[in-house]
Amino acid sequence: MANHKATKKDVRQAAKRRERNKYYGKTTRNAIRDLKASADEKAYGESLPSVVSMIDKLAKKGVIHKNKASNLKSKLSKRAIATA
């Protein structure tokens, strides 16, 4: 365990960030799963922008890599075009 005051603080901050990142990542994964499961093409088109926004925010914060975000958005968009 860390002995310096600043290092102890860094450990606390990292734990807080890890919990937050886990929450946002899981929430986004659930939103993607729900979006893929939606059979109605109108509902898919309406909820796609909010899910894409969630993915962009994860990439911006560094929770996921920007290329992964791009791949996810691309797959969702292709699916939207195919259902339309």
For the chain, the maximum distance between any two Cα atoms, rounded to a whole number of angstroms, is 59
Map tokens 């292709």 to a residue: 78
Is pLDDT of 49 > 80?
A: yes
| Stretch 42-58: mean pLDDT | 93
What's the pLDDT at 42?
85
CATH number of the domain that residue 63 is part of: 1.20.58.110
Is pLDDT of 34 > 70?
A: yes
User: Structural domain tally of the chain?
Assistant: 1
| Stretch 67-83: mean pLDDT | 93
What's the pLDDT at 7?
93
| Token representation of residue 77 | 């968009």
| Token representation of residue 48 | 């796609």
Quote the pTM value. 0.85
| Token representation of residue 13 | 């901050």
Structural domain for 71, as ranges: 5-83
1-33: per-residue pLDDT in tens?
678 999 999 999 999 999 999 999 999 999 999
